[in-house]
Structure 1
């Protein structure tokens, strides 16, 4: 019986899950850590060769009997990263990542050259925000001129792993939305924004073709041999990690809202038509299934709780006890957890702020709670923009590492005033990639099932992990959230540059 695999290349690790569609169960899961290089200027980079090494290690950790039954796979990857290739397919420089804030000035330059923020949104549906791929090109031209001169192909992280697997250079609409160059309304590259990025060069010549959501490719025989996979394996297009998490949480039809609590935090909802905000309050991305995926992204989520836990010498596994020991609102302690700068709210030069300290709340437990609350309030800030635009939701489906915390699940339910559910498959992005592979290979074989059909059949919820809002706590958090917003308003002028 055929199995499908999902690969998730994240910031902290690369994961592989193998799913049995007939038995509706995971048969294997492996993970390898990834290192990150940081610099004082906000640079955050990884070596693409490390992703490949982790990919090999993950597949070699699988039992050969499992590998031999894999019929199709797809890659989920961290969005916005820039992998520069030369004509021969060699990587020219380290990959600058989504959380890299060293290019914030280049964002401003590109939008100014395009005619301003409003004109940029009119051209593509999105402003060019810090972290988006577009800003990394002029930075590279200035700081790595030799690499820029030899640049032949611009790939995103998931595109690069697809290149390793298939030998072909292609991208897909969902992940391409996060470059800053794709007009999400027409699903075409904006020649004006490419020209604004570099008026002296035709960057369109460096962009790979955009593959259809259900397209499949043959695996390269050499890659199959190195991974111990059958030579007949098909590779689906995959997508950005948020797009794959949308599939893995069943967020593939209107009215569904998913939240990912990972290194970054995201909130996304499926739509059948483009959902563009004239002020750029959210990312108006395409989905990887043929629709659109309006998305809120924060750059600081579990990174904030992990930093606090590390600073005080305890594990995040012990964090729930600290939440139980402290009240909603952390006795007046407020954290703006902008350790990596921030995208929502849009403060790329922002820093973390701890305010409201007194003799009663200066404890590890209170600070840990303030970090978790601050990360959640940043997502609520973006959610409020969805609500102001008329979007309505009945529940939130959680994924990502933060969803393993019972206290965080309850906190989200209370802060948002909505029921929270958690899928049985915790690795939403990797599982979503596996389901996309299942859908795409099925289509290639003549199956007419839609991606919604596939998600409805295979995305199951874990009732024991659900949370429902408590009215008293919801009110307490509303007061604390208002305090967070007051601090945000007061401190924003300090970080506007």
Structure 2
């Protein structure tokens, strides 16, 4: 009875360690390191700190799947979103009894699993009447990254995208399960039947651009890109480590921080700007390297997100990553329109 809301909180760090100790094969089964952002450690925190609330759990639903419940009356989820719970056997595309047991939960408390394109139900008569529409079918859908990837055409083995938002994400579709958790690569089910995907996640990408623009007095990102281009590639000895918020792939270190190195008397705003573009580019190259370590071949990346507005930065990134970048019409606003 009632609902329990669980937010993304760093308070479940201890629960992550407990999960990995309880299920030594967790990384191989779930395809990921246990991190506080996943659902399982949050529910462990509830079990340990709010046992009365935990005892009342009937079904665990992800946010979009609770909306589905209200729309259709069905307790259902798609495989791509469910892979982010740490309760899924990602390779087998089914709930893992071992991972659920470690959290004191059972498969009976989980929603039914569907491929992203499958129909999970139809609108209830009440909702259809309220919205003034027929009782249309409702598909399983997908997690945000997986649905966005479908929106830009990343749908077959080797298709890949680079998202240059506040953080940076390299997303690659694969036709089999290719985990590399030791290097903080995420491996999930894709939102398409029989497909998986890998992700490298870089916590600071375009946010580094905004930061250096602010501290150097640039009018904005466009002004900063112009300053960097005027300075040119490798225009000075300056190096930038782009870890303003820690780093996920490949270091998995929330405490590491950024730095400028090798500054000299000739260092100016233009050279600092160029160093930041290069520093982020080489961090992304680190991410691509660990995807390749898991056996993935990436020949080109479709670029989306606000960072796609700068062709010059794209040239810097392409040189650092040694891969072709493809710019999509409207890609700077993201993939939601294509996903819809």
**Band the TM-score falls in, shorter-chain normalisation:** 0.7 to 0.9
The Cα of 1:187 is off from its aligned counterpart by 0.8
Which SS does the other structure have where 1:275 is aligned? Answer: coil
Is residue 90 of structure 2 the alignment partner of residue 184 of structure 1? yes
The Cα of 1:172 is off from its aligned counterpart by 0.9
The Cα of 1:94 is off from its aligned counterpart by 5.6
Query: Deviation per CA, 1:380-414, whole angstroms, max 9, x where unpaired?
Result: 11211233344323221111222222222222222
Which SS does the other structure have where 2:252 is aligned? Answer: coil
- Confirm or deny: 8 A CA contact 1:399 1:423 kept in the other structure: yes
Is residue 334 of structure 2 the alignment partner of residue 334 of structure 1? no
Is residue 322 of structure 2 the alignment partner of residue 417 of structure 1? yes
- Confirm or deny: 8 A CA contact 2:284 2:321 kept in the other structure: no
Map of 1:222-261 to 2, 5 A cutoff?
230-261=133-164
The Cα of 1:142 is off from its aligned counterpart by 4.6
Give the corresponding residue for 1:271: 174
Map of 1:358-397 to 2, 5 A cutoff?
358-361=264-267, 363=269, 365-397=270-302
Within the candidate set 89, 93, 96, 2:5 is matched to 93
Whole-angstrom distance in 2 between the partners of 1:192 and 1:299: 31
Superposition TM-score, scaled by structure 2 size: 0.84
Whole-angstrom distance in 2 between the partners of 1:146 and 1:263: 38
Is residue 186 of structure 2 the alignment partner of residue 283 of structure 1? yes
Superposition TM-score, scaled by structure 1 size: 0.60
Q: Which runs of 5+ in 1 are unaligned?
A: 1-86, 435-497
Q: Which runs of 5+ in 2 are unaligned?
A: none
Q: RMSD of the TM alignment (CA)?
A: 2.9
The Cα of 1:158 is off from its aligned counterpart by 3.4
CA change 1:388–1:211 in 2 (3 A) is: closer
Is residue 330 of structure 2 the alignment partner of residue 431 of structure 1? no
Give the corresponding residue for 1:168: 74
Which SS does the other structure have where 1:155 is aligned? Answer: coil
- Confirm or deny: 8 A CA contact 1:335 1:374 kept in the other structure: yes
Query: Deviation per CA, 1:341-374, whole angstroms, max 9, x where unpaired?
Result: 32212334224321313333353x4444444433
CA change 1:349–1:269 in 2 (3 A) is: closer
Which SS does the other structure have where 2:60 is aligned? Answer: strand
Is residue 21 of structure 2 the alignment partner of residue 109 of structure 1? no
- Confirm or deny: 8 A CA contact 1:133 1:178 kept in the other structure: yes
CA change 1:330–1:148 in 2 (3 A) is: farther
CA change 1:113–1:411 in 2 (3 A) is: same
CA change 1:423–1:354 in 2 (3 A) is: same
The Cα of 1:109 is off from its aligned counterpart by 1.9
CA change 1:233–1:121 in 2 (3 A) is: same
Is residue 31 of structure 2 the alignment partner of residue 122 of structure 1? no
Aligned length: 335
Which SS does the other structure have where 2:174 is aligned? Answer: coil
